[in-house]
Amino acid sequence: MVDVYQNIKAGERGAWVSIISYLILSSFKLTIGYLFLSSALKADGLNNLTDIVASLAVLIGLKISRKPPDSDHAYGHFRAETVAALIASFIMAMVGVQVLVDGVQSLFAGREESPALWTAGVAVLCAVVMYFVYRYNIKLSRQTGSQALKAAAKDNLSDALVSIGAAVGIIGSQFGMPWLDIVAALAVGLIICKTAWEILSESMHRLTDGFDEKELPGLRQTIESIDGVEHIKDIKARVNGSQTLLDVVIEVQPDLTIIESHDITDEIEAKMEQVHNIRYVHVHVEPKNIK
């Protein structure tokens, strides 16, 4: 299990990269947005503020997840990052709703002025920075196998797209359509709310022991390929933080010795870790019914 905790620690680097990037970019966007009257850029900056919260949640969750199992947490503390993500989703939703409310109020206020064209360049520059942060985090997530960091990387990519959307709104407002900048801000607000809902639903799914049933056939196929496994009577899995817990009931020939049956279970555990990176496998052995 040492490599698991080392991977979690390595994943913290990606969270720090996101936090520092968001701090710099959000400050930059909000300052320019307020000084030069860009609703889209302000909304994009607020979006980055929510991303700081999300990245902090990932960082705190990863740190707690590195705590070893104890008497109260026999399976470790891996679910801490899921709980942190759940809290972050509520905060993101509140900010997203506020951006929408502000955007609607600005739209009906009939504001006529347009932001300076060069502020679109600010949005594009920020999009490029976030894209490189995404590339760094997605590469690190593949190296460490961290699902939390993979989710953070996807958030980085969505932020790059949001900045591009803000730039489009600013450019469009230069052609006699200042309301287009506000519409772009509303779109950013919707993206914040959508991201918050996705994090919330996924976190709730994991905390209620949900598991993607589409992955089960692949797990079943791997176990069935092992010599000595006659039939899989039952298989189920759940997610514990970034770790998968697998329970499987197999049938073997009734004349096998305890040692032979134990060797089969050992092979299943080794194969699941090697092929699917699953380290928690509980195997129950039953004799095959022979009629």
> pLDDT grade, residue 250 (50/70/90)?
very high
Burial class (CB in 10 A: 0-12, 13-18, 19+), 114: buried
Final residue in a domain of this structure, among 165, 186, 207: 207
| Token pair belonging to 34 | 């307020």
Name residue 185's amino acid.
A
| One domain, residues 87 and 229 | no
Q: State the average pLDDT over residues 48-70.
A: 79
Tell me: do 111 and 222 sit in the same domain.
no
Same domain, 148 and 234: no
pLDDT per position as a tens digit, 138-171: 888 777 766 677 777 777 877 787 787 778 777 8
**Calpha distance 215→193 (Å, rounded):** 28
CA 285 to chain centre: 36
Give the CA dihedral 51, 56, 62, 65, nearest 10 degrees: -120
What mean pLDDT comes out for the span 19-43? 81
**What CATH code is carried by the domain that includes residue 194?**
1.20.1510.10
pLDDT at residue 269 greater than cutoff 60: yes
Cβ–Cβ under 8 Å, residues 211 and 236? yes
Same domain, 270 and 179: no
Q: Please give the helix or strand (H or E) that residue 283 lies within, else none.
A: strand 280-287
Using the predicted structure, report yes or no on whether residue 2 has a pLDDT greater than 50: no
Identify the pLDDT of residue 36: 75
174 with 255, same domain: the answer is no
Domain range spanning residue 263? 213-287
**Residue 165 and residue 68 share a domain:** yes
Q: Say if residue 149 is in the same domain as residue 85.
A: yes
Do 94 and 159 lie in one domain? The reply is yes
Q: For residue 149, give both structure tokens.
A: 């960091």
What mean pLDDT comes out for the span 98-103?
A: 77
Cα–Cα distance measured from residue 193 to residue 197, given in angstroms and rounded to the nearest whole number: 6
CATH number at residue 269: 3.30.70.1350
- Which region among 19-23, 71-75, 142-146, 277-281 has the lowest average model confidence (pLDDT)? 142-146
Q: Are residues 190 and 251 in the same domain?
A: no
Residue pair 284/249 in contact by the 8 Å Cβ criterion: yes
Question: What is the mean predicted confidence (pLDDT) over 71-75?
Answer: 77
Total number of domains constituting the chain? 2
Residues 82 and 177 in one domain: yes
pTM of the model: 0.71
- Pick the last residue of a domain from 207, 227, 247: 207
- Sheet with 280-287, strands from edge to edge, namely 231-240, 243-252, 280-287
Q: Do 121 and 252 lie in a common domain?
A: no
Is residue 242 located within the same domain as residue 100?
Answer: no
Cα angle: 113, vertex 116, 118; to 5 degrees: 165
Q: How does pLDDT run across 200-213, given as a tens digit for each residue? A: 888 888 888 888 88
Q: Which of 167, 190, 207 is the last residue of a domain?
A: 207
Q: How far apart are CA 200 and CA 278, in angstroms?
A: 24
Residue 94's pLDDT band (boundaries 50, 70, 90)?
confident
Of 178, 135, 130, 138, whose CA–CA distance to 29 is shortest? 130
Share the mean pLDDT of the chain: 81
